[in-house]
Amino acid sequence: MVKTLYHGSLNIIEKPLFGYGKTYNDYGLGFYCTDSLEMAKEWGVGKDQNGYANCYELNCDDLWILNLNAPEYCILHWLAILLKNREFDVPSGLALEAREYLLTTFAVDYETCDAMIGYRADDSYFSFAQDFINGTISYRQLNNALHLGRLGQQFVLKSRKAFDRIQFIGSEVAKSGEWYAKKMLRDKTARREYFSVERNRRQRGDLYITQIMDEEMRPDDPRL
């Protein structure tokens, strides 16, 4: 199977290089892509700087692609990976305890895969995750929040094998004046919906991080 991918950047990148990049991205070191041309254009521009949506084809045959949206995973697996790679504000004892519990109980062996599919933790998603480990929102609310504003998912190349398979097809210019505004509107929409609808809509039976820890819930718990 050949998959078309896009990478938003301020530069044209004809050959993604294995082993380069920022180690503190959502899923660690890797090449971060999307299957949406529009999303790549939003990710590629700066406030006052045009960018590019680089287009690639990836031969996925025989690649181990870890899909965090598969039935065997839940949002807490995604959050555990995020906690391992990103810097979280843990101002309380609860947040620190939650971080350690999730890292231990919902760890995923993602470093040995060839590629990954999962949510992209931009500013909005990151704030939703912080609210959850601080006990402000429930597990259900976190799940719902991740669909607000359609902030997108990402496809991340992790292994040298995957990097060897990707082929540059071309690039499209993304105009800052158009696509930066769209990026800000998407993020603003997610935040507005979160604070006006989801953050304060507690329901009877909601699961909070305190109950998840107190009952020592595991990944196979039907409530997750």
Per-residue pLDDT of the chain (224 residues; tens, 9 = 90+): 899 999 999 999 999 999 887 777 889 899 999 999 999 999 999 999 999 999 999 999 999 999 998 999 999 999 999 888 887 766 678 888 999 999 999 999 998 999 999 987 666 667 788 889 999 889 998 888 776 655 568 999 999 999 999 999 999 999 999 999 988 887 777 777 766 666 667 778 899 999 999 999 999 999 99
Spatial contact of 172 and 41, defined as CB atoms under 8 Å apart: yes
User: What span, in angstroms and rounded, lies between the C-alpha atoms of 45 and 178?
Assistant: 9
92 CB-near residues (< 8 Å, 6+ apart): 134
